[in-house]
Amino acid sequence: MADAVVLRGGRVVDPANDVDGHVDVFIEESRIAGVGVDLILPEGVREVAVPDGCVVCPGLIDMHVHLREPGQEHKETIATGLAAAVAGGFTAVACMPNTEPANDEAGVTRLILERAADAGLARVYPIGAVSRGRAGEQLAELGELHEAGCVAVSDDGQPVASALLMRRALEYAGMFGMPVIDHCEDMSLADGGVAHEGFRAASLGLRGRPAVAEQILVERDIALACTTGAAVHIAHLSSRAAVAAVAAGKASGARVSCEVTPHHLALTDEELDAYDTRYKVNPPLRETGDRAALVEAVRDGVIDVIATDHAPHHYDEKLVEFDQAPFGVVGLETAVSVCLDRLVHGGVISLGRMVELMSVNPARILDVPGGGLSVGAPADLTLLAPDLPVQVDSTTFRSLGRNSPFDGRSFKGGVAATFVDGRAVFVNAAVSGADQLQIGA
């Protein structure tokens, strides 16, 4: 029974199965075989004590990352991105199609899945392009992309500008059960801006991207979701107005879901004073009132998912004038710390709600395995260390990207270990007692 392990004595938080308490988790042949007390276990099962204070939860799923391969391997590779993912507690990631070439045909999808299998770390769910070359003109072959393994479609940083194409994409992708994920921004209003349009950008002399550019496309997409009956997922919500639009859409019965990033929950445009390009991100960090509205929407349930929009860049690319720096921050290796510290310890949400936002809901929206510790499910688990003191040091990242807005900051909470198919793919040596978590290796 080398394959059988029981995790003993930890607090298990599994909101999908309404479990929150100190119970055992029995893993057999890489699947969940039982969760509870007084489980009937076979002879010879290996007993592993969950380190003090650690929490067992279903594996976290980041539904918005950029793995950069193929084409931009100087920023990140699938192998380094997945090493970062498991170090950040993620057992699965969904990767955006803005590779070179774009993931707009099955050959690219298969290459991504092949490289992911070679890495053998977190699961990868490719997101296909809505349009060929992400050019916003002609639908990509969504049926074949779905068959090859894509779980959703998006033109990523290119919002689907044409309302007609968006409508057709919703209808067509809906046939395959794939949501359309949209980066919502009216590009004519965004007008080449590099920061949130407001007092801060005005005083720094930076061109602004107004919140209304986001609001308009969110409202359009929700209207189209209502018309088509298809599912739309709004990526990285950033403004108070967009939150209100989603809340109204949900109230009207539209099939709309949405996500927010840890950096939009934790930071505002006040960080921009020194023109530090680590804070240049799209959508931009907005004002205090926007940040407060996002936090409130995480609390009250309007926001479904926390996703990182992990966007690694080479340091040379960020060491330029603010106007010229690429948008994006890395997030895989800091998301858990930011969310535990700011949201759970900050009294905004419970640990159970955090698991819903980072595991249950992404699994549901993408219709992929995971999100709960049900018997028979793959044994993808994350062990959180909610009280672990963490100081972010980008030089220790597994990601090739060092462009973290949280570099040097301290947080309470981190990751103790990550298991995929019952196998430890990451164990954090900084957690005492973690060494015995090396299981299935």
Least separation in angstroms between residue 22's CB and other proteins is 51
Nearer to other proteins, 38 or 321 (CB): 321
- Residue 244 phi/psi, 5-degree rounding, is -65, -40
Least separation in angstroms between residue 319's CB and other proteins is 5
The yes or no reply on residue 285 touching other proteins (CB under 8 A) is no
85 vs 93: CA distance, rounded Å: 7
Helices (H), 33-126: 78-87, 106-119
Taking residue 275's Cβ as centre, other Cβ atoms within 10 Å add up to 15
Q: Strand pairing of 31-36 and 24-28?
A: antiparallel
**Closest alpha carbon to 59 in 25, 36, 29:** 25
Nearer to other proteins, 188 or 396 (CB): 188
Element holding 163 (H helix, E strand): helix 163-175
Select the span of 157-165, 295-303, 313-321, 370-378 touching other proteins (CB under 8 A).
313-321
Nearer to other proteins, 199 or 375 (CB): 199
Nearer to other proteins, 164 or 319 (CB): 319
Residues from 181 through 200 that contact other proteins (CB under 8 A): 191, 197-199
The yes or no reply on residue 37 touching other proteins (CB under 8 A) is no
Which of 88, 136, 159, 208 binds other proteins (CB under 8 A)? It is 208
Strand-pair partners of 252: none
Give yes or no for a contact between 66 and 103, defined as CB atoms under 8 angstroms apart.
no
Nearer to other proteins, 64 or 286 (CB): 286
- Going through 174-291 in order, the beta strands assigned E by DSSP cover 180-182, 195-196, 208-209, 232-234, 256-260
421 vs 417: CA distance, rounded Å: 13
Which of 320, 367, 430, 435 binds other proteins (CB under 8 A)? It is 320
Which of 44, 316, 376, 441 binds other proteins (CB under 8 A)? It is 316
Helix (H, G, I), strand (E, B) or coil at 118: helix
Which of 202, 292, 375, 430 binds other proteins (CB under 8 A)? It is 202
Select the span of 3-11, 241-249, 297-305, 314-322 touching other proteins (CB under 8 A).
314-322
Give yes or no for a contact between 160 and 182, defined as CB atoms under 8 angstroms apart.
yes
Select the span of 65-73, 97-105, 253-261, 322-330 touching other proteins (CB under 8 A).
322-330
Nearer to other proteins, 24 or 287 (CB): 287
152 HSE (CA, 13 A, CB side): 28
The yes or no reply on residue 279 touching other proteins (CB under 8 A) is no
Residue 283: is the preceding peptide bond cis (ω within 30°)? yes
Nearer to other proteins, 201 or 379 (CB): 201
Least separation in angstroms between residue 315's CB and other proteins is 10
The yes or no reply on residue 203 touching other proteins (CB under 8 A) is yes
Catalytic positions: 309
The yes or no reply on residue 206 touching other proteins (CB under 8 A) is yes
Residue the block writes with tokens 């390009």: 277
The yes or no reply on residue 20 touching other proteins (CB under 8 A) is no
Cβ-Cβ contacts under 8 Å for 396 (sequence gap 6 or more): none
Count interface residues toward other proteins (CB under 8 A): 21
Give yes or no for a contact between 431 and 385, defined as CB atoms under 8 angstroms apart.
yes
Surface-to-core class of residue 372, CB atoms within 10 Å of its CB (0-12 exposed, 13-18 middle, 19+ buried): buried
The yes or no reply on residue 408 touching other proteins (CB under 8 A) is no
Which of 39, 204, 226, 244 binds other proteins (CB under 8 A)? It is 204
217 vs 290: CA distance, rounded Å: 17
Least separation in angstroms between residue 199's CB and other proteins is 4
Residues from 347 through 376 that contact other proteins (CB under 8 A): none
The yes or no reply on residue 323 touching other proteins (CB under 8 A) is yes
Strand-pair partners of 47: 6
Residues of this chain that interact with other proteins (CB under 8 A) are 191, 197-199, 201-208, 274-275, 316, 319-324
